[in-house]
Amino acid sequence: MSLASKPPMQPLPRRPEPPRHVPPPSLRLRPADKADIARIRQIAEATYGPYRKDLPKPPSALTDDYALLIADDAVFVVEGRDGVAGFAVLLGLHHALMVHSLAVDPDMQRQGVGKMLIAFATGHAASLGLQALEASVEKAMLPVIAWLGRNDFVAIRSPGPGGYQRYYFRRDVT
């Protein structure tokens, strides 16, 4: 068959858009209150505690003053049927909203809790007129780095010398 007799190439069909994540109706996001502090600490320990041995200092999620952060309206929780399933600490910077920490109860992972917190943070940043979410992650926290990549965060700076070995990430919200 000559080239002239071949049928014209047809464009490949477009891959359907993946469905947008819709959290289960049993999950509800709300600002944290002081009654949540003990549960937030439990989730932080379960999530960040295993990294303690690989870091020069404990992760900040293990040492943060949650009473102060809650008083500053910086902590949000996702509640499931059995109570608080995850939390995020969001700190305003002049140009972005910093995801200071985000943690999900290991028994509730892969159920949309983290995605719900990031979706909220994205909308919150946009409502504040900010252009991005930012996060920093210790080099030793490889699963967290992978999760950020799967959730549209892009590495903007790699670790430098000394102390913490952090990667810095950014996700545009506009």
User: Is the pLDDT higher at 158 or at 92?
Assistant: 92
Per-residue pLDDT reduced to its tens digit, 50-94: 888 888 788 889 999 999 999 999 999 999 888 999 999 999 888
DSSP E strands: which ranges in 6-93?
A: 28-31, 75-80, 83-92
| Helix, coil or strand: residue 23 | coil
**pLDDT at 17 exceeding the cut of 70:** no
Burial of residue 125 (number of CB atoms within 10 Å: 0-12, 13-18, 19+): buried
Q: Would you say 77 and 32 are in contact if contact means Cβ atoms under 8 Å apart? A: yes
Q: Tokens 């049928």 sit at which residue?
A: 7
Helix (H, G, I), strand (E, B) or coil at 107: helix
Reported as a single tens digit per residue, the pLDDT across 119-143 is: 999 999 999 999 999 988 888 788 8
State how far the Cα of 36 lies from the Cα of 75, in Å rounded to an integer: 10
Class of domain 28-172 (CATH, top level)? alpha beta
Strands 132-138 and 83-92: unpaired
Euclidean distance between CA atoms 165 and 122, whole angstroms? 26
Higher confidence at residue 165 or residue 37? 37
* Predicted pLDDT of residue 60: 86
Single out the residue of 142, 138, 126 nearest to residue 90, CA to CA.
126
Q: pTM here?
A: 0.81
Phi-psi region of 153 (alpha: psi -120 to 50; beta: other; left: phi over 0): beta
Spell out where the chain has E strands. Answer: 28-31, 75-80, 83-92, 97-104, 132-138, 154-157, 166-172
